[in-house]
Structure 1
């Protein structure tokens, strides 16, 4: 090579085809990373939208509590878990006393306010993992995982007293409550989800027949509550 001849471009020189290819690959890689970030952001947004829609589908529009459909699903899951692990499970049903009379006297808008306030009061008495649901109309349900009869009685009485002692503006509001417990002992304990619901329902109506504004556990009604363990149709969809 003579003094006037230029050396050929090396791999590290600006004119190197290898360097240009590396730069192009780097640019494409950066674009790919940017695309992935956009896709991940869209996926997260989509998942959040799906969760939000599921929450709406499972929520009672008026009170913000879980709805009947969610209660039914929760009953199935909780009952199976309690059976498998031999844990207690209690269900409390609540009916607002003389609600139709209140609605007729003060109007449906005032009735809606009562239902929202009752829902809030029930929720304040429940634990985070309890399921508080609007059962339908002026009826509510509290599903109490891992809770025996004494615990169910305690929760039900606390709810009853909280509602009665609340500072109602138009008239005093009270509630009747009935509860039932899966305890894995004795022949009369509910053996199915529908039996658990039916025995709690019987206890609720006993409270109403006995003058309302009271709590009854299904065990107090034995053997009357035993008829519910033989597959009677439940009002929550079983």
Structure 2
């Protein structure tokens, strides 16, 4: 592990995957206390730069490597960024600092990470025009073939949400199997009956963190007379699959 990492960009799914891998490694190496996380309070604002800087330079009683993670630093102001830059210059051994910017990186942070011997990891979402190619490449990485027509069909059905597209690719990989193929005719058969909301739709909406869609899907399922037991099963199945893909 390097002393510092800067993870940034617009691809939320890949950023979340990188964060999940880091958490898994930190807990496997140093236990549950091996990772200290700095996040915006109640999801608003930015992580506490002063608290992070103080933790960087403080002594640790935890054996092994210590991991410090600050998420959503894109909202830091000039003074907050300067505080952390200064702390990175005094980064002690056996400590790894991970800074995550879901958008523009504050001025000077990338240079400070490099000066500390760290690494810059950009994760940018593909442009809309490249999404069909993104899906085809994603299918290939999952060991099945997705035709261009099928990729465009998926985009028309699901939209441009990368987390939801990733979940759908994982599901198609299970359906097709290694070396299999999925074309537009396969997808048309899967969604032939569009009069009712699919049983996995609630899980997909939860995974994508789309609150309004979650409520809308739940209301449609209730109106269709779907039982609570079947909804819990299919929803939990979707979430388990997404979690496995995230930590893969």
TM bucket (normalised to shorter chain) is under 0.3
Normalising by structure 1, report the TM-score: 0.24
Greater C-alpha radius of gyration: 1
TM-score, normalization: structure 2? 0.23
